[in-house]
Chain A
Amino acid sequence: MKRLLPFFIIGILIVTGCRSIPKDALSLSPESLAQRQIQTRKYETKDEAKILASCAGLLQDMGFNLDESETKLGVITASKTRSAVSAGNIAAAILLSALSRVPQPTDKEQKMRASVITRPIGQNDEHIAVRVTFQRIVWNTQGEVTKTESIDEPKIYQEFFDKLSKSIFLEAHAI
């Protein structure tokens, strides 16, 4: 068994090192329609700029900094850096350190990114559809990337749109 170990390691290195783009990276997945529905809401207005401004305000409320925007295409992108320290992650690292007698790195910080896209929909462009997507990159205490993923929890999107509805209401009724 021990003699096989180097071959295993070499095998893993070859597989991970030569891994090229996954076959489905640029094709529509069966879940993509469901994802779109979770990430999209429709608002009964023609005023795209106003919706975009509300989205920008909401992202600020959520602690994001705006990176880029293009009003003409209904695009806002934003990001924030936050701690990624979690109790479970630290507990696992302590356990692993104790077993292997080598200090294990733990997740330290994460960059969270958001893009909000608005676009007119309906036969006469009488509604505005808002679609938001989130993703994050996590670094550990050694500065290595440990996670790169999109954030898919429906709850997060539900909360975002609840807040957006409030924000649009607030801005419409500013005093």
Chain B
Amino acid sequence: MKIRFTLISMIFVILFLGCASTQNRLLDSDSSQVQLRSIQTRAFDTTDKEKTLRTVISTLQDLGFVIDKADALLGTVSATKLKGYALRTTVTVRPRGETQLLVRASAQYNIEPVTDPQPYQQFFTSLEKAMFLTAHQVD
């Protein structure tokens, strides 16, 4: 009786743990959404979405990425860099008000999300050089 109870409760615990961790991994809800957005996002003083996307693509190529896919209408570019590791990134471009575009980059290093601000800062430094425009921090 006691053994059966232990067994059942163990199975329950394992199921429960497995469930929770999948939910955690799927939603990555342990990091602050607002903070992550501000790390990953910059505003540029332009409204030319297509040119911005093309510049994002060439910047990614300069950084050693191979482009996976791009969508002009949606304003997205995905790319992968292989250099002993796999770094996958998605960049989205969307309008912000009448005069600006928001560029957001998110990255995954092997099987971990990139939450450190520094790599994103480096990416936007390269991008603003290629854009000939300043990347504005967004609150």
Residues of chain A touching chain B, judged by Cβ–Cβ distance below 8 Å, are: 20-23, 25-29, 32, 35-36, 39, 67-68, 70, 72-75, 77, 113-115, 117, 119, 131, 133-137, 148-150
* 21 sampled A-B residue pairs with Cβ under 8 A: A20-B116, A21-B109, A22-B85, A25-B85, A25-B109, A25-B119, A32-B64, A35-B62, A68-B70, A70-B71, A73-B53, A75-B67, A113-B80, A114-B66, A115-B67, A115-B79, A117-B67, A133-B66, A135-B66, A148-B82, A148-B83
Contact residue range for chain B?
A: 35 or more
B133 within 8 A of A: no
Give the CA-CA distance A135 to B85 in the complex, in Å: 12
A115 lies within 8 A of B84 (CB): no
Question: Known interface pairs A28-B62, A32-B63. Does A149 touch B82 (Cβ–Cβ under 8 Å)?
Answer: yes
- B80 touches which of A20, A73, A135 (Cβ 8 Å): A135
Known: A73-B50, A73-B72, A77-B68. 9 other contacts (CB 8 A): A21-B107, A27-B63, A28-B126, A35-B64, A68-B70, A77-B69, A148-B84, A150-B81, A150-B82
- B122 touches which of A26, A133, A134, A148 (Cβ 8 Å): A26
Interface residues of B in 68-98 (CB under 8 A from A): 68-72, 77, 79-87
A21 lies within 8 A of B114 (CB): yes
For residue B122, which residues in chain A have a CB less than 8 angstroms away from its CB?
A: 26-27
Residues of chain B touching chain A, judged by Cβ–Cβ distance below 8 Å, are: 50, 53-54, 57-58, 61-72, 77, 79-87, 107, 109, 112, 114, 116, 118-120, 122-123, 125-126
Which applies to chain A's interface (DSSP): helix, strand, loop or mixed? Answer: strand
A133 lies within 8 A of B61 (CB): yes
Give the CA-CA distance A39 to B77 in the complex, in Å: 20
Give the CA-CA distance A72 to B72 in the complex, in Å: 6
B123 lies within 8 A of A26 (CB): yes
A134 lies within 8 A of B63 (CB): no
- B69 touches which of A68, A131, A149 (Cβ 8 Å): A68
Give the CA-CA distance A111 to B126 in the complex, in Å: 29
For residue B58, which residues in chain A have a CB less than 8 angstroms away from its CB?
A: 117, 119, 131
For residue A35, which residues in chain B have a CB less than 8 angstroms away from its CB?
A: 62, 64
Give the CA-CA distance A68 to B114 in the complex, in Å: 25
